[in-house]
Amino acid sequence: MLRFASIADLHRAYREGHLTPLEVVEHYEQVIQERDGLINAFITPTLELAREQAAALSDPEPTSPVWGVPLAIKDNIAVEDVELTCGSRILLGYRAPYDATAVARLRQAGAVILGKANLDEFAMGSSGETSHFGPTRNPLNPEFVPGGSSSGSAAAVAAGEALAALGSDTGGSIRQPAAFTGLVGLKPTYGRVSRFGLVAFASSLDQIGPLTLTVDDALRIYAVIAGADPRDATTLEEPVPTYSELLKTIQGLPIRTVGVIRDFLESPRLDARIRERMEEVIHTLEREGFRIRTVELPSQRYAIPTYYLIATSEASSNLARYDGTRYGFREEGDDLLSMYARTRGRGFGQEVKRRILLGTFALSAGYAEAFYLRALKVRRMMLEDFARAFEAVDVLLAPTTPYLPFRIGEKKDPLELYLADLFTVGVNLAGLPALAQPAGRVDGWPVSVQWIAPHGEEVRLFHMAFHLERLYKEGTHGP
């Protein structure tokens, strides 16, 4: 059975003539057939499409950073003529009429699409348990959750069912499952990757990014999918360098000062085992010559309520389009209004309905000023707190999650699940880039740290992530 450690490892096999893209697809097809019945990482495998794409790759060696790479795509990202469900009953039978921009760019670069990955319904969840198609299981221990909402994307990579994957991150939905499955997860700057073809949850927060085995793999995918897109007016106009150009820039960065977010490290909700691992990482960075400074972000205490006001308000607006009249699931009624009510009542799951109701309430007459508009003001405070922090430090370091993976069905209180996003939602509210990566293990589980950089400075994330990854490979930093 093949097992690739990275995209570079796969490309080495291609260059040396040991494998062809079609043989690699056949390998992953076998793995999916053997393992996915338990893991439930895929909603819609596209193996026939993958074989066609692989057979068309006739060059003798890789011609792009992702050439011949088999990918899973989160099922809220459009792949032309493939069912697009968002993990929801209400979109059953709907087939995307076009590729998302990120998918189109990956295809043009020679990547191969293995299938659409499971997710919390409409990307609303932190555990991978809310999908209409059943929960995704953590490949490290199938009795535990893999994190969410990009649960299937993370599980597919961690289980060896795909070499890399695309996910989306609205409040931590790439970074959290990366943390729970021992992967690298990148949430780019808001607007760095086009949202065209991404089904909207919260339009001012959503961002597409990769989940991968290594930092270099994440950089390769980022280099391909990032950049301006005329079909998404929120994308940034600055050109994105090529993969090789990014590598040169990253290697030459003069980063020496790392800020540690006190509010996160001293949080009473942070598992003591994760705090201990964080402190070990900090001490290692100090030994490596980095200056460590403690950073205060006072507004972060309001991050969860602010996020769940803004995100649910935007969701209540975005999900109004699913009414049974245009596409997807439809439940007949006695009249138009009863058809709407029955379709949405049976088509949406419990968590999605909960968030629609929360958002509708927050936007309703008499309450919008007290809740939604106040949340927007706090969001501005968060931007200012981060800006002040970056006047003193080059990057920020924080834990990714407050706790380790938990058993499927263990956390039933929605508020407890919302707190899983405690250390991630602030980044989305501020539109900043962040990268989660494994930093050792405790009790058999990976522990993840996240790097946070100023707006548009993904290269700083990669600089630090490459450095920490090298320390672990060399055995410099703990088990």
pLDDT band of 1, cuts 50, 70, 90: low
Parallel, antiparallel or unpaired: strands 70-74 and 164-168: parallel
The yes-or-no verdict on residue 477 having pLDDT over 90 is no
**Average pLDDT over all residues of the chain:** 95
Give dist(CA 168, CA 124) in Å, integer: 11
Do the domain assignments include residue 39?
Answer: yes
**396 lies in some domain:** no
H or E element that contains 385: helix 372-389
| pLDDT at residue 52 is higher than 90 | yes
**Is the pLDDT confidence value at 479 over 80?**
no
pLDDT band with cut points at 50, 70 and 90 for residue 476 = very low
* CA dist., res. 112 & res. 107, Å (int): 7
Residue 3 confidence class, pLDDT cut points 50, 70, 90 = confident
Measure the CA–CA gap between 24 and 479, rounded to whole angstroms. 32
**Number of compact structural domains in the chain:** 1
- Nearest residue to 429 (alpha-carbon basis) of 187, 136, 117, 98: 187
* pLDDT value for 334: 87
| pLDDT at residue number 475 | 55
- On the CB side of 36, CA atoms within 13 Å amount to 27
Could you tell me if residue 36 is inside a domain? yes
In a domain, 77, yes or no: yes
Do the beta carbons of residue 397 and residue 449 sit within 8 Å? Answer: yes
**69 within some domain:** yes
Q: What is the pLDDT of residues 299-330, one digit of tens each?
A: 999 999 999 999 999 999 999 999 888 888 88
Confidence of residue 95 (pLDDT cuts 50, 70, 90): very high
146 Cβ contact list (under 8 Å, min separation 6): 128, 136, 137, 138, 139, 154, 155, 158, 177, 180, 181, 405
Residues 6+ apart with CB under 8 A from 198: 76, 77, 78, 100, 102, 168, 206, 208
Q: Provide the pLDDT for residue 176.
A: 98
Catalytic residues: 74, 149, 173
Other CB atoms within 10 A of residue 408 CB = 18
In a domain, 419, yes or no: no
Q: Is residue 160 part of a domain?
A: yes
Identify the pLDDT of residue 478: 42
Q: What letter does residue 86 receive in the DSSP assignment? A: T
- Report residue 189's pLDDT band, with 50, 70 and 90 as the boundaries: very high
Helices and strands, counts by H and E, the chain: 17, 11
**Is pLDDT above 50 for 37?**
yes
For residues 29 and 162, give the distance between their C-alpha atoms in angstroms, rounded to a whole number: 9
- Using pLDDT thresholds of 50, 70 and 90, give the confidence band for residue 331: confident
How large is the average pLDDT for residues 74-88? 98
Which amino acid appears at position 336 of this protein?
L
DSSP output for 8-64: HHHHHHHHTTS--HHHHHHHHHHHHHHHHHHH--EEEE-HHHHHHHHHT--SSS--S
Q: pLDDT tens digits, residue range 105-132?
A: 999 999 999 999 999 999 999 999 999 9
For 147, the domain range is: 7-250
Per-residue model confidence (pLDDT) at position 110: 97
**Stretch 366-381: mean pLDDT:** 93
Domain with residue 39: its CATH number is 3.90.1300.10
Tell me the per-residue pLDDT of 400-452, one tens digit each, with 9 for 90 and over. 999 999 999 999 899 999 999 999 999 999 999 999 999 999 999 999 999 99
Domain membership of residue 102 (yes or no) is: yes
Express each pLDDT in 250-262 by its tens digit. 999 999 999 999 9
